[in-house]
Structure 1
Amino acid sequence: MQTTSGIARSFTAEARGVQPFRMIIPEHFRGPHDAAHGGYASGVYSALLGGPSAEVTLRNRTPLETPLEVEVVDEGVRVMLGDTLLAEVVPAPIDFDAVAPVSVESAQLATAGFPWYERHPSDGECFACGPGRLVGDGLRIFPGPVAGREVVAGPWTPTASDVDSAGMALPEMVIATLDCTAFLGGVCFEPGGGPSLLGRLRSEVYGRPQAGQTCVSVGWLLGRDGRKLNVGSALFDGSGELLAIGRATWIELRTA
C-alpha cells in the first residue's frame, strides 16, 4: 500500500501493468469537508501517467485514509473505490495560452481581497486555501482580485513539506496550486453561483520551484455554461516564467 508522497515514481517505475495497485490519500490533504482536495488528488492522479500533462475527470469525491485501486486502461488510468469510479486520467496537452504573469508584489497586495478569511467554505481547513492551515501544513494560497485586471492572484512559497529529496516542489503540489485559484478567478468575476466542486482539471507542468522560492498562482474566468464554470489558472515564478497551467471545470451543485 502506498501513501501519495512519491506515489507517481512508485507506480510508473515498479507497478505499471501490475494489478492491482493501491494507494491512500492521507487526511492531511483535505479539501471540502471529509474529501481530498480536488487539485491535490488531480495532481496525484496526473502524475501516475508519468508525463508532463494530463486531464483528470473527477467522477466522485476522493475519500481520505481509504485504500483506492489504480487500474491501467488503454486510454490511461482509472481510480476506483470498489465498484465506484472516482477518477479517469488521460494524456491531454494544454490547448490555450496563459494570461500575462502577475508580480509577487501585486499578488501580495491582492491577498487583501481574498473573500474567505472569515467564512471559508471548508471551515478554513482546505489544503490549498485554508486560512486555518499553518505554514508547512497547507499551501496557504489566498488569491484576491488584482488591481486593473480581471484575474485573481496569490503568492505561494513551497516549504520543506512540499518538496522532494532534491528540494524541488512535487508535481502534485504544483498542480494543487492551480485549483482553488482557478475557482476564485471565476466567481470573483462571475458571481451568483452556489456551492461547487471541481469536476475536471487539465494541467501541464513545465517547471517546479525550489523550497523557499516564492511563486504566483493566477486564476481567470473562461466562461460559464449552465452549472459549469470554466476557468483557467497558472503558476509563475518570481520572474514571470510559466511553471504550470491548467484549465478547470467546476460544477455547481444542484439544490433540492
Structure 2
Amino acid sequence: MTQAEALTIPAHIHGYPRIAFGGYVAGLLAAQSGADTVRVDFRRAVAVDSPILLSRTGDGRATLTGADDALLVEAAPATLTVHPRPAPSWSAAKSAVDLALAGERTVTDCYGCGLACAPGRGLLLFPSILPGTETMAAAWTPDAGLANDSGELPPEVVWSALDCPGGRAAFVFSHMASGAFTAALTATQLRPVYAGEDYISHAWILAREGRKHTVAVALSTAAGDLCALSEALWIEPRTP
C-alpha cells in the first residue's frame, strides 16, 4: 500500500539558488525507506518553496514527485561498498576549517557550507584540504537549531552533512567543473548525531569517468568513531 504526504522544502535549504539541497532531500526519503542503507537517485531538480509529494511503499522505497506528477527523486534499499578511511584528528580537522575560512568564498548562502547562514538555518560545515593529502576535512559542532526536541539531528540533516564535503573534494582533487550536481547518494547512519557535540567530516575521491565523479564522505565523532558513511555520484553539466 502506498502512502503519500504533501510537503515543501523551505527556501533557505538550498545549494544552488532556488534548488533544494540534495543531501537534505535524500535524507527525507531515506527516513521514509526504513532500510539501514539507502540509495537516492535524483531524476530532476527539486525546487524550494514549491509543493511536492512524498510517497512511500512497504518495500523500503520512496519517491518525490512534482505538481505535474513528474518523478523528481526516488530511494530504495541498497548496499554500500565503499570502505571508510580513518578520520583525521580533531586538531587537524579544526585547522582545515581555519584554512577554509581564510580563503575567499564566492557562495555564502549554501545550506551546507554557507558562511552567511544563521545558526540553525545552515550546517555551517566548512571543509578544506588536509595539507599533504587528497582529503577534505572539517571539524563540526552542529547547532541546536538543527536538532529535534531530544537534541538528535534528523536524517535529513545528517545526510546533508554527507553531501557538500564530497562535492568540495571533487572540485578540488578531480577538477570537477562548476555547475556539477549530486546525481545519486548512497548512505548509512551507524550511530546518532547530536547537536552540541564535536564531529569530524572527511571526504575523498573514489573515481572519475568523463563528467562523472564518485566521492566518499564519512562523519565521525571527535574520537574517530564512525557515525555515517556515504558514496555519491556527481555529474558535470554538458555545458559548464
| Smaller-chain TM-score bracket | over 0.9
Q: What residue in structure 2 maps to residue 8 of structure 1?
A: none
1:144-155 equivalences in 2 (<5 Å): 144-155=128-139
Amino acid at match of 1:98: P
Q: What residue in structure 1 maps to residue 69 of structure 2?
A: 83
Contact 2:88 2:200 in 1 (8 A): yes
* Separation in 2, partners of 1:244, 1:116: 28
Cα gap change, 1:52/1:124 in structure 2, threshold over 3 Å: closer, same or farther? Answer: same
Pairing 1:71–2:55 present? yes
Among 173, 186, 189, the alignment partner of 1:202 is: 186
Number of residue-to-residue matches in the alignment: 238
Per-residue CA deviation, residues 90-147 of structure 1 (Å, 9 max, x unaligned), is 0113112111111221111112443895343xx3111111111132221111111112
Among 135, 139, 142, the alignment partner of 2:126 is: 142
Shifted more, 188-197 versus 55-64: the winner is 188-197
Q: What residue in structure 2 maps to residue 110 of structure 1?
A: 96
Compute the RMSD of aligned alpha carbons: 1.9
Among 226, 230, 233, the alignment partner of 1:249 is: 233
Contact 2:176 2:213 in 1 (8 A): no
- The normalised TM-score by structure 1 is 0.87
Contact 2:112 2:123 in 1 (8 A): yes
Contact 1:117 1:131 in 2 (8 A): no
Q: What residue in structure 2 maps to residue 13 of structure 1?
A: none
* Separation in 1, partners of 2:135, 2:63: 33
Q: What residue in structure 2 maps to residue 237 of structure 1?
A: 221
Q: Please state whether the residue corresponding to 1:114 is helix, strand or coil.
A: helix
Q: Which sections of structure 1, spanning at least 5 residues, go unmatched?
A: 1-16
Note the C-alpha offset of 1:19. Answer: 4.2
Contact 1:128 1:177 in 2 (8 A): yes
Per-residue CA deviation, residues 63-116 of structure 1 (Å, 9 max, x unaligned), is 112221123356711210022211010011311211111122111111244389
Shifted more, 123-132 versus 65-74: the winner is 65-74
Amino acid at match of 1:90: A
Q: Please state whether the residue corresponding to 1:249 is helix, strand or coil.
A: strand
* Separation in 2, partners of 1:85, 1:18: 15
Q: Please state whether the residue corresponding to 2:231 is helix, strand or coil.
A: strand
Q: Please state whether the residue corresponding to 2:49 is helix, strand or coil.
A: coil
Pairing 1:162–2:161 present? no
* Separation in 2, partners of 1:149, 1:184: 14
Q: What residue in structure 2 maps to residue 49 of structure 1?
A: 33
Q: What residue in structure 2 maps to residue 14 of structure 1?
A: none
Contact 2:27 2:155 in 1 (8 A): yes
Note the C-alpha offset of 1:57. Answer: 0.4
Q: Please state whether the residue corresponding to 2:202 is helix, strand or coil.
A: strand
* Separation in 2, partners of 1:48, 1:144: 32
Q: Which sections of structure 2, spanning at least 5 residues, go unmatched?
A: none
Q: Please state whether the residue corresponding to 1:173 is helix, strand or coil.
A: helix
